[in-house]
Amino acid sequence: MDEMQDVPNNIGQYVHDLEKENRVLKEENQQFRKVFTGFEKRLNCLELENQKLKEENKELKKTIIKLEKRLRMYENPHTPSSRKCFKKGKNSDKDTVSSSGRRGAPKGHKGATRKKSKPDEVIPVPSDHCPGCGCNPGLPKGFETLIVEELPPPREIKVIQYELFNYTCPSCGLKFTSKHKDCPQKGIFGINLLTQITTLKYHLRGVLRKIEEYLRYVYNFKISSTGVHDVLLRVGGACKNEYMKIQQRIQNARWVYEDETGVRVNGENWWLWTFRSNNNDVLIKIRNSRGRKVLEEVYGGNFDIPGIADGWSAYSILSILQRCWAHLLRDVDDFKEKSEKGKELSEELHRKFKKLKDFLGKDPPMDKRKKQKITWDKEITELVQKYSQFDELHKPVTYIKNGLGRWYTCLLYPGMEPTNNLGEHTMRENVIMEKIIGSFRSIKGAENYQYIASMFATWRFQGKNIFEELETLLRQELCLS
């Protein structure tokens, strides 16, 4: 009986414990549900955030690709170092900062103090009163000299009337009018004024409006921008004969440095070509072509003149060509960070170029030059074969391969440069002018530019006085011809 009475009590306690445990489990379950719900919400937020970041990342990658494409227009293997916006390397500031970290000339630099000129005029400067009390200072106790170089004050435009006489030769009956070296046969502006305006435009890169203002401020001479433009057209016409003579000299040069760049003419894409001979004769051509017909026009069908140029296909018309090493090294350097073999190829070509410069610096005789060319032509051919197996170097290796036989032409022509840096130097002034003016508004304006710019570049590179040379040319063409 006692055992039967204990059973319900045990069952009741057992049920009670189960109910208690169940309540605890329910509470824990509710807590877990809350935590799970929190995690679920957090997971959803993270998934949304992740999706948003992926979309932003995708847009940023597109933007980077666009910016890289734009940057490649200004920073690429074919961009001259002088035109690069950002120069890489640890020595990029070498020219502006000394080893001590201070700007300026290095220690030991002698300097270049301007020498004192002999005075053309002596002006005594006495004083009749004391700056302190105003009394008469009496006789001076000594003196000191101060030499000052000064420009004469500008003068107003001088108006000259020339009286030209008409004659009839009693011997042959020829009728003619007398000429004066300073009097143009046409027009109302004198030689000095024409020279001044042209120099302001082409040497100082002045715009027409600024030239107009300068003449008004300095000389009290009034002329419109259209008048300045007409003067430049007249001077350009006077330069045409000498321009054609330069082209003839280019055709008979020992070698010619060549380059080309795009310009805008009358809203269209044209090309500005420069040709610089070994004697520093410079010919500028502005044409609506980047093809061989420009070279045919310049050389008159004589393609045996050695040329120095980059890898542009039009230059292959020349039978003798020196490919530019500067272009080659820039092209290869663009791959040295892309692979270990690219770095190896770049270093090997830089060593070859250094050997070439060192060899040329010794001015060896022609027999050694010929032997060395054969050796180095063979070595660079082997280099092409060595690196042709690497797919990532296909572009630079093809660039080298296309120039085989033309990388060491300079060895056969003493004085010829292995790079086209002189050609790019010639082009630089034209690029600056093109950036200033924006574009040529007419074909006539572009044609006129090439005449005057060729004269100025030739005189500058030949070390001549541009002002004096232009005066002489204008007198000959406008006054005495």
Tokens linked to 430: 């034209």
Is residue 41 over pLDDT 90?
Answer: no
Round to whole Å and give the CA distance between 245 and 13: 125
What is the pLDDT at residue 1?
Answer: 46
Residue 111 CA, chain-centre distance (Å), reads 30
At 105-140, the pLDDT tens digits run: 677 777 778 888 899 999 999 998 999 898 998 888
Interval 361-393: pLDDT, tens: 999 999 999 999 999 999 999 999 999 999 999
Tell whether the model's pLDDT for residue 98 goes beyond 50. Answer: no
pLDDT (tens digit per residue) in 43-68: 889 889 999 999 999 999 989 988 88
For 133-186, write each residue's pLDDT tens digit.
Answer: 989 988 888 889 999 998 888 888 889 999 999 999 999 999 999 999 999 999
Q: Quick one: average pLDDT of 409-432?
A: 95
Residue ranges of domains in the chain: 166-251+446-480, 325-419
Q: What is the pLDDT of residues 244-278, one digit of tens each?
A: 999 999 999 999 999 999 999 999 999 999 999 99
Rounded to whole angstroms, the Cα distance separating 91 from 84 reads 15
Contacts of 228 (CB under 8 A, 6+ apart): 197, 201, 208, 211, 212
Fill in the amino acid letter for 182.
Answer: D
Q: How many whole angstroms separate alpha carbon 274 and alpha carbon 427? A: 6
Measured at the CA of 377, the angle between CA 372 and CA 380, to 5 degrees, comes to 125
Q: Is the pLDDT confidence value at 93 over 70? A: no
Q: Where does the pLDDT of residue 78 fall: very low under 50, low under 70, confident under 90, or very high at 90 and above?
A: low
- Among residues of the chain, what percentage have pLDDT more than 70? 91
Does residue 400 carry a pLDDT above 90?
Answer: yes
Contact 360/418 with Cβ under 8 angstroms? yes
Q: Can you point out the beta strands (E) in 341-459? A: none
Q: Is the pLDDT of residue 102 over 70?
A: no
Residue pair 126/119 in contact (Cβ under 8 Å)? The answer is no
Beta pairing class for 307-309 and 321-323? parallel
Q: Which amino acid is at 113?
A: T
Q: Structure tokens of 414? A: 């003493």
- Produce one character per residue of 65-93: b if its CB has 16 or more CB atoms within 10 Å, e if not: eeeeeeeeeeeebeebeeeeeeeeeeeee
Which pair of structure tokens corresponds to residue 120?
């053309």
Per-position DSSP letters for 51-100, written without gaps between them = HHHHHHHHHHHHHHHHHHHHHHTTSSTTS-GGG-SS--STTTTTTTB-TT
pLDDT value at residue 94? 44
- Angstrom distance (rounded) from CA 342 to CA 353: 17
pLDDT of residue 350: 96
